[in-house]
Homo-oligomer: A and B are copies of this chain.
Amino acid sequence: MNPTPPAAEAAPARRGRPRSEAAERAIVEGVLRLLEEGTSIDAISIEGVARLAGVGKATVYRRWPGGKDELLLAVVDALEEPPAQPRGDSVRDDLVTLLEWYRRVGMAKRQSAVLRTMTSHVKSHPKLWQQYHDSVIKARRETLHGVLRRGVASGELRDDIDLGLLGELFTGPMLTRTVLHESKDLPDGLAEQIVDSVLDGVRPGR
Binding site for B on A (CB under 8 A): 155-159, 161, 164-166, 168-169, 171-177, 179-180, 184, 190, 193-194, 197-204, 206
Other A-B pairs beyond A156-B204, A169-B202, 7, CB < 8 Å: A161-B197, A165-B193, A168-B172, A171-B172, A172-B172, A172-B175, A179-B180
- Residues in B with CB closer than 8 Å to A158 are 202-204, 206
Is A201 a contact partner of B193 (Cβ separation < 8 A)?
no
Q: A204 to B199: give the CA distance in the assembly, Å.
A: 9
DSSP majority for the A interface?
helix
If A175-B180, A179-B180 touch, does A169 touch B194 (CB 8 Å cutoff)? yes
Is A165 a contact partner of B199 (Cβ separation < 8 A)?
no
Q: Which residue of B lies closest to A203 (CB)?
A: B199
- Residues in B with CB closer than 8 Å to A198 are 169, 197-198, 201-202
